[in-house]
Amino acid sequence: MPMIDVAGLAVHYRLDGPEDAPVLVLSNSLGTTLDMWRPQLAAFSRRFRLLRYDSRGHGETTVPPGPYAIGQMAGDLLGLLDALGFDRVHFCGLSMGGMVGQSLALRAPERLDRLLLCNTAAVIGPPEAWDRRAAAVEAGGMAAVAPVVERWFTADFLRRFPDDVAPFAAMLRDTPPKGYVGCCHAIREHDLRFLVSAISTRTMVIAGTHDVATPPGDGRFLAGAIPGAIYVELPAAHLSNVEAAGPFTRAVLAFLNG
Protein backbone atom coordinates (compact mmCIF):
# COMPACT_ATOMS: atom_id res chain seq x y z
CA MET A 1 0.00 0.00 0.00
CA PRO A 2 2.05 2.99 -1.24
CA MET A 3 1.90 5.95 1.14
CA ILE A 4 3.65 9.33 1.03
CA ASP A 5 3.82 11.92 3.80
CA VAL A 6 2.59 15.30 2.61
CA ALA A 7 3.02 17.89 5.36
CA GLY A 8 1.92 15.37 7.98
CA LEU A 9 -0.86 13.85 5.86
CA ALA A 10 -0.21 10.21 4.93
CA VAL A 11 -1.58 9.99 1.37
CA HIS A 12 -2.48 6.63 -0.12
CA TYR A 13 -1.80 6.50 -3.86
CA ARG A 14 -1.38 4.09 -6.76
CA LEU A 15 0.74 4.37 -9.91
CA ASP A 16 0.02 2.36 -13.04
CA GLY A 17 1.18 2.50 -16.62
CA PRO A 18 4.52 3.17 -18.35
CA GLU A 19 7.01 5.16 -16.29
CA ASP A 20 7.96 7.34 -19.26
CA ALA A 21 4.38 8.19 -20.30
CA PRO A 22 2.66 11.54 -19.61
CA VAL A 23 1.12 11.65 -16.13
CA LEU A 24 -2.66 11.62 -15.69
CA VAL A 25 -4.03 12.30 -12.20
CA LEU A 26 -7.49 11.02 -11.21
CA SER A 27 -9.23 12.61 -8.19
CA ASN A 28 -12.15 10.93 -6.45
CA SER A 29 -15.62 12.13 -5.50
CA LEU A 30 -17.03 12.50 -1.99
CA GLY A 31 -17.57 9.14 -0.33
CA THR A 32 -15.44 7.10 -2.73
CA THR A 33 -11.80 6.03 -3.05
CA LEU A 34 -9.24 5.71 -5.81
CA ASP A 35 -11.03 2.49 -6.78
CA MET A 36 -13.86 4.54 -8.30
CA TRP A 37 -11.71 4.77 -11.44
CA ARG A 38 -11.48 1.00 -12.08
CA PRO A 39 -13.63 1.26 -15.24
CA GLN A 40 -10.92 3.47 -16.77
CA LEU A 41 -7.86 1.74 -15.32
CA ALA A 42 -6.96 -0.53 -18.24
CA ALA A 43 -7.50 2.02 -21.01
CA PHE A 44 -5.85 4.95 -19.25
CA SER A 45 -2.83 3.03 -17.98
CA ARG A 46 -1.96 1.88 -21.49
CA ARG A 47 -1.31 5.47 -22.58
CA PHE A 48 -0.48 7.33 -19.38
CA ARG A 49 1.46 7.10 -16.14
CA LEU A 50 -1.73 6.95 -14.09
CA LEU A 51 -1.78 8.45 -10.60
CA ARG A 52 -4.80 7.69 -8.41
CA TYR A 53 -5.00 8.74 -4.78
CA ASP A 54 -7.40 8.83 -1.84
CA SER A 55 -8.40 12.37 -0.90
CA ARG A 56 -7.87 13.47 2.70
CA GLY A 57 -10.31 11.78 5.03
CA HIS A 58 -11.06 9.03 2.49
CA GLY A 59 -9.87 5.47 1.90
CA GLU A 60 -6.46 4.78 3.40
CA THR A 61 -5.36 8.42 3.55
CA THR A 62 -5.09 10.08 6.96
CA VAL A 63 -8.25 11.47 8.56
CA PRO A 64 -7.09 14.75 10.14
CA PRO A 65 -9.44 16.91 12.22
CA GLY A 66 -11.85 18.95 10.12
CA PRO A 67 -13.26 21.03 8.69
CA TYR A 68 -11.33 20.82 5.43
CA ALA A 69 -11.13 23.22 2.48
CA ILE A 70 -10.96 22.54 -1.26
CA GLY A 71 -7.88 24.76 -1.53
CA GLN A 72 -6.26 22.69 1.19
CA MET A 73 -7.03 19.53 -0.79
CA ALA A 74 -5.46 21.07 -3.89
CA GLY A 75 -2.40 21.69 -1.73
CA ASP A 76 -2.40 18.02 -0.72
CA LEU A 77 -2.21 17.06 -4.38
CA LEU A 78 0.57 19.54 -5.13
CA GLY A 79 2.55 18.06 -2.24
CA LEU A 80 1.97 14.57 -3.61
CA LEU A 81 3.12 15.63 -7.08
CA ASP A 82 6.24 17.22 -5.61
CA ALA A 83 7.01 14.11 -3.58
CA LEU A 84 6.69 11.92 -6.68
CA GLY A 85 8.70 14.30 -8.86
CA PHE A 86 5.88 15.11 -11.29
CA ASP A 87 6.23 18.68 -12.51
CA ARG A 88 3.38 18.83 -15.01
CA VAL A 89 0.34 16.58 -15.36
CA HIS A 90 -3.07 16.09 -16.90
CA PHE A 91 -5.84 16.19 -14.30
CA CYS A 92 -9.27 14.54 -14.26
CA GLY A 93 -11.53 14.95 -11.23
CA LEU A 94 -15.16 14.05 -10.65
CA SER A 95 -17.54 15.97 -8.36
CA MET A 96 -15.41 16.92 -5.32
CA GLY A 97 -12.37 15.95 -7.38
CA GLY A 98 -13.48 18.40 -10.05
CA MET A 99 -13.60 21.13 -7.42
CA VAL A 100 -10.02 20.28 -6.50
CA GLY A 101 -9.15 20.59 -10.19
CA GLN A 102 -10.71 24.06 -10.41
CA SER A 103 -8.72 25.21 -7.40
CA LEU A 104 -5.53 23.66 -8.74
CA ALA A 105 -5.96 25.34 -12.13
CA LEU A 106 -6.31 28.75 -10.47
CA ARG A 107 -3.54 28.21 -7.96
CA ALA A 108 -0.87 26.46 -10.03
CA PRO A 109 -1.72 26.52 -13.75
CA GLU A 110 1.92 25.87 -14.62
CA ARG A 111 1.50 22.34 -13.20
CA LEU A 112 -1.31 21.39 -15.60
CA ASP A 113 -1.34 20.40 -19.25
CA ARG A 114 -5.04 19.61 -19.65
CA LEU A 115 -7.94 19.69 -17.23
CA LEU A 116 -11.07 17.51 -17.11
CA LEU A 117 -13.89 18.62 -14.82
CA CYS A 118 -16.49 15.87 -14.54
CA ASN A 119 -19.94 15.96 -12.93
CA THR A 120 -18.92 18.96 -10.90
CA ALA A 121 -19.75 22.63 -10.44
CA ALA A 122 -18.32 25.98 -9.45
CA VAL A 123 -20.65 25.78 -6.45
CA ILE A 124 -22.79 22.91 -5.17
CA GLY A 125 -25.45 24.09 -2.81
CA PRO A 126 -27.35 25.18 -0.99
CA PRO A 127 -24.97 25.45 1.99
CA GLU A 128 -27.60 24.33 4.49
CA ALA A 129 -27.89 20.99 2.65
CA TRP A 130 -24.24 20.28 3.47
CA ASP A 131 -24.83 21.31 7.07
CA ARG A 132 -27.69 18.82 7.30
CA ARG A 133 -25.66 16.06 5.70
CA ALA A 134 -22.68 16.65 8.01
CA ALA A 135 -24.97 16.71 11.05
CA ALA A 136 -26.64 13.47 9.97
CA VAL A 137 -23.29 11.68 9.73
CA GLU A 138 -22.12 13.09 13.04
CA ALA A 139 -25.28 11.75 14.67
CA GLY A 140 -25.76 8.45 12.86
CA GLY A 141 -22.53 7.53 11.10
CA MET A 142 -22.28 6.67 7.42
CA ALA A 143 -25.54 4.70 7.49
CA ALA A 144 -27.29 8.06 7.64
CA VAL A 145 -26.21 8.90 4.07
CA ALA A 146 -26.43 5.42 2.54
CA PRO A 147 -29.34 6.49 0.27
CA VAL A 148 -27.05 8.97 -1.52
CA VAL A 149 -25.90 6.05 -3.71
CA GLU A 150 -29.28 6.26 -5.40
CA ARG A 151 -28.32 9.74 -6.62
CA TRP A 152 -25.08 8.46 -8.13
CA PHE A 153 -26.84 6.27 -10.72
CA THR A 154 -30.08 6.26 -12.67
CA ALA A 155 -32.90 3.99 -11.49
CA ASP A 156 -32.41 1.84 -14.59
CA PHE A 157 -28.70 1.32 -13.88
CA LEU A 158 -29.40 0.52 -10.22
CA ARG A 159 -31.92 -2.13 -11.29
CA ARG A 160 -29.90 -3.68 -14.12
CA PHE A 161 -26.37 -3.62 -12.72
CA PRO A 162 -26.48 -4.21 -8.94
CA ASP A 163 -23.05 -5.87 -9.02
CA ASP A 164 -21.55 -2.66 -10.42
CA VAL A 165 -23.29 -0.54 -7.80
CA ALA A 166 -22.34 -2.69 -4.80
CA PRO A 167 -18.65 -1.63 -4.62
CA PHE A 168 -19.68 2.02 -4.50
CA ALA A 169 -22.17 1.42 -1.71
CA ALA A 170 -19.30 -0.29 0.15
CA MET A 171 -16.93 2.64 -0.50
CA LEU A 172 -19.48 5.05 0.96
CA ARG A 173 -20.19 2.80 3.94
CA ASP A 174 -16.47 2.46 4.70
CA THR A 175 -15.62 6.16 4.40
CA PRO A 176 -14.43 7.50 7.78
CA PRO A 177 -17.28 9.63 9.15
CA LYS A 178 -14.93 12.41 10.29
CA GLY A 179 -13.36 12.56 6.85
CA TYR A 180 -16.73 12.69 5.15
CA VAL A 181 -17.92 15.49 7.44
CA GLY A 182 -14.69 17.43 6.89
CA CYS A 183 -15.20 17.23 3.12
CA CYS A 184 -18.86 18.24 3.42
CA HIS A 185 -17.66 21.48 4.98
CA ALA A 186 -15.09 21.92 2.21
CA ILE A 187 -17.74 21.56 -0.50
CA ARG A 188 -20.09 23.86 1.41
CA GLU A 189 -17.55 26.68 1.31
CA HIS A 190 -16.44 26.18 -2.30
CA ASP A 191 -17.78 28.88 -4.61
CA LEU A 192 -15.69 29.80 -7.65
CA ARG A 193 -18.47 31.17 -9.85
CA PHE A 194 -16.73 34.51 -10.17
CA LEU A 195 -13.23 33.05 -10.54
CA VAL A 196 -13.37 30.13 -12.99
CA SER A 197 -13.19 32.49 -15.97
CA ALA A 198 -9.53 33.00 -15.02
CA ILE A 199 -8.72 29.32 -15.68
CA SER A 200 -6.25 29.26 -18.59
CA THR A 201 -5.66 25.49 -18.83
CA ARG A 202 -7.20 23.75 -21.82
CA THR A 203 -10.37 22.24 -20.33
CA MET A 204 -13.09 19.70 -21.03
CA VAL A 205 -16.26 19.62 -18.92
CA ILE A 206 -18.23 16.36 -18.73
CA ALA A 207 -21.79 16.32 -17.38
CA GLY A 208 -24.49 13.68 -16.98
CA THR A 209 -27.91 14.25 -18.49
CA HIS A 210 -29.58 12.62 -15.47
CA ASP A 211 -27.28 14.00 -12.77
CA VAL A 212 -29.34 15.57 -9.98
CA ALA A 213 -26.32 16.37 -7.79
CA THR A 214 -24.54 18.50 -10.40
CA PRO A 215 -27.06 18.95 -13.23
CA PRO A 216 -26.03 19.65 -16.82
CA GLY A 217 -26.65 23.36 -16.27
CA ASP A 218 -23.74 23.39 -13.81
CA GLY A 219 -21.48 21.83 -16.42
CA ARG A 220 -22.63 24.23 -19.12
CA PHE A 221 -21.89 27.13 -16.78
CA LEU A 222 -18.32 25.94 -16.27
CA ALA A 223 -17.79 25.32 -19.96
CA GLY A 224 -19.17 28.74 -20.81
CA ALA A 225 -17.11 30.53 -18.19
CA ILE A 226 -13.74 28.85 -18.85
CA PRO A 227 -12.24 30.23 -22.07
CA GLY A 228 -12.19 27.67 -24.86
CA ALA A 229 -13.62 24.83 -22.74
CA ILE A 230 -15.24 21.85 -24.47
CA TYR A 231 -18.56 20.52 -23.15
CA VAL A 232 -19.62 16.85 -23.34
CA GLU A 233 -22.87 15.46 -21.96
CA LEU A 234 -23.30 11.74 -21.34
CA PRO A 235 -26.45 9.66 -20.70
CA ALA A 236 -25.71 9.07 -17.03
CA ALA A 237 -26.31 10.30 -13.51
CA HIS A 238 -23.59 11.52 -11.14
CA LEU A 239 -20.91 8.85 -11.57
CA SER A 240 -20.76 9.10 -15.34
CA ASN A 241 -17.39 7.31 -15.46
CA VAL A 242 -19.21 4.19 -14.24
CA GLU A 243 -22.67 4.41 -15.76
CA ALA A 244 -21.39 5.58 -19.15
CA ALA A 245 -17.93 4.06 -18.80
CA GLY A 246 -17.24 3.51 -22.49
CA PRO A 247 -18.28 6.97 -23.74
CA PHE A 248 -16.58 8.60 -20.75
CA THR A 249 -13.29 6.82 -21.41
CA ARG A 250 -13.38 7.60 -25.12
CA ALA A 251 -14.17 11.29 -24.51
CA VAL A 252 -11.28 11.67 -22.05
CA LEU A 253 -8.78 9.91 -24.33
CA ALA A 254 -9.87 11.91 -27.36
CA PHE A 255 -9.41 15.14 -25.44
CA LEU A 256 -6.03 14.22 -24.00
CA ASN A 257 -4.68 12.83 -27.26
CA GLY A 258 -6.28 15.39 -29.58
137: enclosing H helix or E strand: helix 127-140
The widest CA-to-CA distance across the chain, in whole angstroms, is: 48
Residues 24-75: tens digit of each pLDDT: 999 999 999 999 999 999 999 999 999 999 999 999 999 999 999 999 999 9
Residues 121-147: tens digit of each pLDDT: 999 989 999 999 999 999 999 999 999
What's the total number of domains in the chain? 1
Strands of the sheet containing 202-208, edge to edge, are: 3-6, 9-16, 49-53, 23-27, 89-94, 112-118, 202-208, 230-234
Residues 178-222: tens digit of each pLDDT: 999 999 999 999 999 999 999 999 999 999 999 999 999 999 999
Task: Please tell me the distance from the alpha carbon of residue 189 to that of residue 5, in angstroms, as a whole number.
Answer: 26
Residues 88-118: tens digit of each pLDDT: 999 999 999 999 999 999 999 999 999 999 9
Q: What is the pLDDT of residue 1?
A: 73
* 238 close to 158: Cβ distance less than 8 angstroms: no
* 103 close to 74: Cβ distance less than 8 angstroms: yes
Domain containing 127 equals 3-257
- Give the domain CATH number at 142: 3.40.50.1820
